[in-house]
Amino acid sequence: MAKVSFDVNGETHQFELDTRTTLLDALREHLHLTGTKKGCDHGQCGACTVIVDGRRINSCLTLAVMHQGDEITTIEGLGTPDALHPLQAAFVEHDGYQCGYCTPGQICSAVAVLAEVKAGIPSHVTTDLNAPVRLTNAELRERMSGNICRCGAYSNIAEAISAVAGRSA
């Protein structure tokens, strides 16, 4: 067992955990924040994506004890049913899901993608590494490739993210 404390959605939590506990399991099993989903549990599907200190990561591939003092944002921290985050609203508007299981990860990932583009971080499909990044459809799809949607709602997911990106551009 080991002690750790970190912030989740603006609130500080203290834990005493088995060292084996992943961040994903700490969120779901200990804080009962079940919005973050366990898909493959091996970093292949992206359903567990959360934002830690402003960066998206796979919460299944990191130990909770390694996050002392970190600030973690999950889907529950982005918006509420009464006050949706713009990306949550856009996913509803553009029908960016079917079963919905990958959606929290898709939305957390998309929030971070927009920040990454704003910060000028290039991607595999960026033509010129030394020019500003434009969020084309190809850029969007490459940057979201770590989030698998088994229902295949990709085109609507891309539309939802593009709509928000266009508004904030």
Partner 1 sequence: MRSFSYERATSPGAAAAAAATTANAKFIAGGTNLLDLMKLEIETPAHLIDVNDLALDRIDETADGGLRIGALVRNTDLAADRRVRRDYGVLSRALLAGASGQLRNKATTAGNLLQRTRCPYFYDTNLPCNKRKPGSGCAAIGGFSRQHAVVGVSDACIATHPSDMAVAMRALDAVVETVRPDGTTRNIPIAELHRLPSDSPEIETTLQPGELITAVTLPKPIGGTQVYRKVRDRASYAFALVSVAAIVQRDGSGRVALGGVAHKPWRVEAAEAELPGGAKAVTARLFADAKQTRDNAYKLPLAERTLAAVLREGGA
16-29 as b/e: b if 16+ CB within 10 A? ebeeebbbbbbbbe
Contact 139, 126 (CB under 8 A): yes
* 58 is a contact residue toward partner 1 (CB under 8 A): yes
Structural tokens at position 67: 């996050």
Give yes or no for residue 20 binding partner 1 (CB under 8 A): yes
* 6-14, 29-37, 145-153, 155-163 -> range binding partner 1 (CB under 8 A): 145-153
**Among the candidate windows 43-51, 74-82, 84-92, 154-162, which touches partner 1 by CB under 8 A?**
43-51
Return the DSSP state at 59: G
Backbone torsions φ then ψ of 26, nearest 5 degrees:
-60, -45
Determine if 28 is a binding residue for partner 1 (CB under 8 A): no
Q: Supply the DSSP symbol for 96.
A: -
3-state class (DSSP) for residue 65: helix
Residue 65 interacts with partner 1 (CB under 8 A): yes or no: yes
Interface with partner 1 includes 103 (CB under 8 A)?
no
**Integer Cα distance of 113 and 116 in angstroms:** 5
Query: Among 15-23, 76-84, 91-99, 153-161, which window interacts with partner 1 (CB under 8 A)?
Result: 15-23
Sites of contact with partner 1 (CB under 8 A): 2, 18-20, 22, 41-43, 46, 49, 55-58, 61-63, 65-66, 109, 112-113, 116, 119-124, 126, 129-130, 141-147
